[in-house]
Amino acid sequence: MKHHTVTDSPYGPLTLVADDGVLCGLYMTDQRHRPPQETFGTRDDTLFTEAEEQLEAYFAGDLKEFTVELRLTGTPFQRTVWERLSRIPYGETRTYGELAATLGTPTASRAVGLANGRNPVGIIVPCHRVLGANGSLTGYGGGLDRKRRLLEFESAPRTRTASPG
């Protein structure tokens, strides 16, 4: 059974969707390929504590890799691409061609791009870390402005002030 909640972020409201309590969707406002709202199930703000805590830590600059359990629905190729996206380290980028090469299909950059665009849990599965062959910002379901802002956020140096002692 599906449930959802809406949580705030520096990039606008995020709709989190769970299937039998396991996160299966994270959707931004005006996101391309966003499923219809009626497919998200009933609202339940109590089921998403772990995902919301991890997102909050990520946006604070304290979390570099998500560990929340995911249930991703897609073709075998899409799921393989999404798994490879999860391996791109925080603050780094890859091109669609580089990602295709890691799959053993270096000529499949277009197919990788299509799978990337169907990623149901953006930010957590970091599809924003994939660039065009020339390093350009291309094809982000959440919009190129959000992609640019996420990449700038991840590449910004973090400074910590010492606690009074």
What does the alpha-carbon distance between residue 34 and residue 97 come to, in Å, rounded to a whole number? 25
Q: For position 94, what pLDDT does the model report?
A: 94
Confidence of residue 158 (pLDDT cuts 50, 70, 90): low
User: 75 pLDDT exceeds 90?
Assistant: yes
Q: For position 159, what pLDDT does the model report?
A: 56
What does the alpha-carbon distance between residue 36 and residue 159 come to, in Å, rounded to a whole number? 40
User: 66 pLDDT exceeds 50?
Assistant: yes
Query: For residue 23, with 0-12 CB atoms within 10 Å meaning exposed, 13-18 middle and 19 or more buried, which class applies?
Result: buried
CATH fold for the domain made of 76-155: Arc Repressor Mutant, subunit A (1.10.10)
What does the alpha-carbon distance between residue 136 and residue 124 come to, in Å, rounded to a whole number? 22
Mean pLDDT in residue range 65-85: 96
Among 5-9, 31-35, 61-65, whose mean pLDDT is lowest? 31-35
Q: For position 102, what pLDDT does the model report?
A: 93
Contact 69, 23 (CB under 8 A): yes
Mutual orientation of helices 109-117 and 76-85 as an angle, nearest 10°? Answer: 80
Measured at the alpha carbon of residue 81, what is the angle toward residues 80 and 86, in degrees to the nearest 5?
Answer: 100
Q: For position 136, what pLDDT does the model report?
A: 77
Domain with CATH 3.30.160.70 in the chain: 2-59
Domain with CATH 1.10.10.10 in the chain: 76-155
pLDDT exceeding 70 applies to what percent of the chain?
A: 95
Q: pLDDT tens digits for 100-157?
A: 999 998 899 999 999 999 999 999 999 999 998 888 787 777 778 898 999 999 998 7
Q: pLDDT tens digits for 2-17?
A: 999 999 999 999 999 9
Decide yes or no: CATH 3.30.160.70 for domain 2-59.
Answer: yes
Q: Who contacts 129 (Cβ-Cβ below 8 Å, separation ≥6)?
A: 85, 88, 92, 93, 94, 151, 154
Q: For position 74, what pLDDT does the model report?
A: 95
DSSP letter, residue 77? H
Active site residues: 127
Confidence of residue 163 (pLDDT cuts 50, 70, 90): very low
